[in-house]
Amino acid sequence: MAALPFSTTCRHSSSPLHHNSKSSFIGFSQRNNIWQLFVITKSISRKSIRKLSVKNVASDEKQELKDPLAKRDTFYEFIPDSASIASSIKFHAEFTTPFSPEKFELNKAFFATAESVRDSLIINWNATNDYYERKNVKLAYYMSMEYLQGRALLNAIGNLQLLGPYAEALTKLGHNLEDVANKEPDAALGNGGLGRLASCFLDSLATLNYPAWGYGLRYKYGLFKQHITRDGQVEVAENWLEMGNPWEILRNDVTYPVKFYGEVIPGPNGSKQWVGGENILAVAYDVPIPGYKTRTTINLRLWSTKVSQEEFDLQAFNSGDHAKAYAVLKNAEKICYVLYPGDESIEGKTLRLKQQYTLCSASLQDIIARFEKRSGKRVNWDTLPDKVVVQMNDTHPTLCIPELIRILMDVKGLSWEKAWNITKRTVAYTNHTILPEALEKWSLTLLQDLLPRHVEIIRMIDEELIHEIISEYGIDDLDLFQQRLKKMRILENIELPSSVMELLSTEETSTVDPVKVIDVEGNDVMANEKEEKKDENDDDDDDEEEEVGEEGKEEEYDENLSIEEDTDNKVEVRFKVDPKLPMMVRMANLCVAGGFSVNGVAAIHSKIVKDEVFNEFYELWPEKFQNKTNGVTPRRWIRFCNPDLSKIITKWIGTEDWVTDLEKLAILRKFADNEDLQLEWIEAKRRNKIKVASFLKDKTGYVVNPSAMFDVQVKRIHEYKRQLLNIMGIVYRYKRMKELSAEERKEMFVPRVCIFGGKAFATYVQAKRIVKFITDVGATINRDPEIGDLLKVVFVPDYNVSVAEMLIPGSELSQHISTAGMEASGTSNMKFSMNGCILIGTLDGANVEIREEVGEDNFFLFGARA
């Protein structure tokens, strides 16, 4: 993520997250059946929890807090033990969970435990934000339509270094920590790698002490819950919020208006006002994100949508028209119902666009309000890029660019030039795909209807871009200029701005050769002849000009006019709009033009971005383009999900520092041939495979042999990811087995369990057919007594983060066989590699860099190259 250095000018102001509480960690003890407050008194090791610090993004230097927090914050001196944790859990079970008090069952135990953990997070959370306020640091704001977080309980407890005390406390209360943690539903805020990357970023930003916030939407029903039936995939709404979410804090005092439709009218001093239309409110829900072994706890702010209660039509309700009574309320609320609603219809497209704009508008209003608060009475807008960077995760938040300009111009009164300059230095863009269908385009008609002011601003940006192209390359070669516009313009199949047409007409006119009109032997036939060079005798030329007279001058004027008209026609024809094609707004081009940085997410992907997808932009602005290979958090993906392997790594390396510095894993190389390490490694894998086998039986009913090789392909179902190729290979293997005798089969084939998982988008027909094909093949093979345990095919329904945390530690071969050049990076390949799994894959995305790290001998290379 690109960011500029921040200032450390000190400002004293209260945190927007603060609860007006100066207490330390608070637990509760029970004495004579009366709950009493008490302060934890166990001493903390200063080595285990780092003091708050801030990293300078440019120099990577730390700035330690000069006034130690220990003097102001008693929590820094104390951590909870199992007894105080048990008391805290009992308090929340009694007073704060949404369950009746009679029983202390698993669901109730989960909520009480989570709220107990949240107490600790809130203290660190407030301290972190107070610290950022005092230091007046530059903050990175990560904008993403999705966050695939997974379960939070074990991750939070692990980051706080409290796994042992919480496990012991729950044992005292009659429960097992793992059983309690399994009652937490996955947060349904994401779908695939895009959302998982966003969540990993937040975890790592907190762990590395970078000042940052995340912004997203609070989806009530998520993407969907996947059921597998005889007919294939069936989608039902997620129910993750059915019992509430113990991690979120509703901020009723943090709301912002968001407008749709309406019209734009002139305002004072040449400004514009966007009036009328449909108005909703975005309400903030905050989720604390703790770092590992650090007090830094950053914020994920999610927006929900509503309208004021006055919009409820009580008269219509009482008259029996109930649908009309709450129509406005439901229209606002549905914006945050579903992640990626189907967009085959105009209603679906409109809803998606509303979602994207709600994220951008509410978040930017919040960012501006926080910047103004920290700036004090005198706001210097030129310093906004020094204090704020907005990182757009793919093209979904593209409307941040025109929205920031709108706020600066129409609300704060800045000029176009100043607003545009500030925006270009504030916003950055991460590209996640080279697939044309994923490089978003929006109908200009839809945008014009829904966001009329933003279309005006986008037209101005498009005009600025065209003029910059002309300034850099000129317009001598109109064919080449036309080709550049075809690739680089933000507006597609839309007329050129008048200022550009004037330039083109002028240039075309200046290149037209003057002509003479000659009467050939008195006939009506006129011949055009190019004017010859002037005679060296200037006097003769002057005399000839004098003889022309006024009548000749009029003819010459008419002739020049006809040339200009003809030139205008030629330019219009060359750059004309095709009425058969739609007029579109290309969001990726807007991102590149409106931001200071563009990054790909793997070395090969970034090369394709520069050489193919945005080559013309790269030639114009090479300094904007960079690579940032995706990553994953080793806390969740080894330390917490694979404790057996983690203990082995720590034992042989001699330190647990690898959890925050994976370079230290290289120390294991010198023990690679050690038989004791190999035996320990094999045993850890065996235990994980037994867990996977039990999980598969519970989820699918299929019984698999843990001694078989576990061959796994889990990812979003898509043609380019080639699950179809994998299952066709399995069909071929099955057919070969059937042609052999039982003895020949056992000799030729290793027992294998082929595991699939992933969701097909609800309207992606071909992907859903692939899911059905996989499940049908599995049903056939798994019931064949001749094959038995030699080959099994299992499709795991409703694949999510928690399922991945179960499958990945027990996997031995993982398939990453996307069509080369189409996978931007991939992150599951990293998770499998980290857990001691061999990859088979194409030279695509991060596979390239993984192969370089592990060595060619430890990577099964497959397929054509990009």
- As a whole number of angstroms, the distance between CA 714 and CA 251 comes to 37
Give the model confidence (pLDDT) of 657-667 as tens digits. 999 999 999 99
Q: Which band of pLDDT confidence, cut at 50, 70 and 90, is reported for residue 45?
A: very low
Average pLDDT on 38-58 reads 43
Residue type for 10, please? C
Catalytic residue among 689, 827, 842, 851: 827
Range with the poorest average pLDDT among 285-289, 474-478, 547-551? 547-551
Determine the residue type at 455. V
Phi, psi of 293 (to 5 degrees): 55, 40
* pLDDT, tens only, 788-817: 999 999 999 999 999 999 999 999 999 999
pLDDT at 556: 47
| pLDDT score at 489 | 97
Residue with tokens 């972190």: 128
SS3 track for 707-756:
CCEEEEEECCCCHHHCHHHHHHHHHHHHHHHHCCCHHHHHHHCCCEEEEE
Instruction: Note the Cα 496 to chain centre separation in Å.
Output: 33
At 823 the pLDDT is: 87
- Residue 527 has a pLDDT of 40
pLDDT value at position 78?
61
Per the residue annotation, which of 406, 831, 842, 851 is the catalytic one? 831
Q: Which of 218, 220, 354, 716 is catalytic?
A: 716
Q: Is 432 a catalytic residue?
A: yes
Looking at 225, 370, 432, 851, which residue is catalytic?
A: 432
By CB atoms closer than 10 A (0-12, 13-18, 19+), residue 357 is buried
pLDDT at position 53:
52
- Whether 14 shows a pLDDT value over 60: the answer reads no
Query: What is the value of pTM for the model shown?
Result: 0.86
pLDDT at 511 over 90: no
User: Is the predicted pLDDT of residue 10 greater than 50, yes or no?
Assistant: no
* Residue 390 backbone dihedrals phi, psi, to 5 degrees: -110, 110
Contact criterion met (CB below 8 Å) for 843 and 820: yes
The answer to whether the CB of 104 falls within 8 A of the CB of 89 is no
DSSP 422-433: HHHTTEEEE---
pLDDT for 536:
43
Asked about 467 being catalytic, the answer comes back as no
Distance (Å, rounded) from C-alpha 507 to C-alpha 275? 41
For residues 837, 839, 844, 845, the Cα torsion angle rounded to the nearest 10 degrees is 0
State whether the Cα torsion 694-695-698-701 is positive or negative: negative
Contact 114, 184 (CB under 8 A): yes
- Nearest one of 328, 357, 341 to 256, comparing CA atoms: 357
pLDDT score recorded for residue 662: 92
* Average pLDDT taken over every residue of the chain: 86
Confidence of residue 775 (pLDDT cuts 50, 70, 90): very high
Q: Contact at 8 Å (CB) between 37 and 48?
A: no
Closest CA to 441 of 530, 551, 310, 352: 352
32 confidence band (pLDDT: 50, 70, 90): very low
Q: What is the mean pLDDT of residues 722-727?
A: 97
Catalytic residue among 715, 752, 768, 851: 715
Query: Which is catalytic among the residues 721, 722, 745, 851?
Result: 721
* Ramachandran quadrant class, 228 (left: phi over 0; alpha: psi -120 to 50; beta: rest): beta
> Averaged over 353-372, what is the pLDDT?
98
Confidence of residue 541 (pLDDT cuts 50, 70, 90): very low
For 105, the 3-state DSSP assignment is coil
pLDDT band with cut points at 50, 70 and 90 for residue 568 = low
Q: What is the spatial distance between Cα 85 and Cα 110, in angstroms, rounded to a whole number?
A: 13
Please state, as a whole number, how many other Cβ atoms lie within 10 Å of the Cβ of residue 855.
Answer: 8
Cα 177 to Cα 560: distance, rounded to the nearest angstrom = 88
Residue 682 is classified by DSSP as H
pLDDT band at 308 (very low <50, low <70, confident <90, very high): confident
> What distance in Å separates the CA atoms of residue 213 and residue 536, rounded to the nearest whole number?
76
No. of helices (H) and no. of strands (E), the chain: 30, 30
Q: How confident is the model at residue 51 (pLDDT cuts 50, 70, 90)?
A: low
Integer Cα distance of 479 and 314 in angstroms: 63
If one counts every other C-beta atom within 10 angstroms of the C-beta of residue 372, the result is: 14
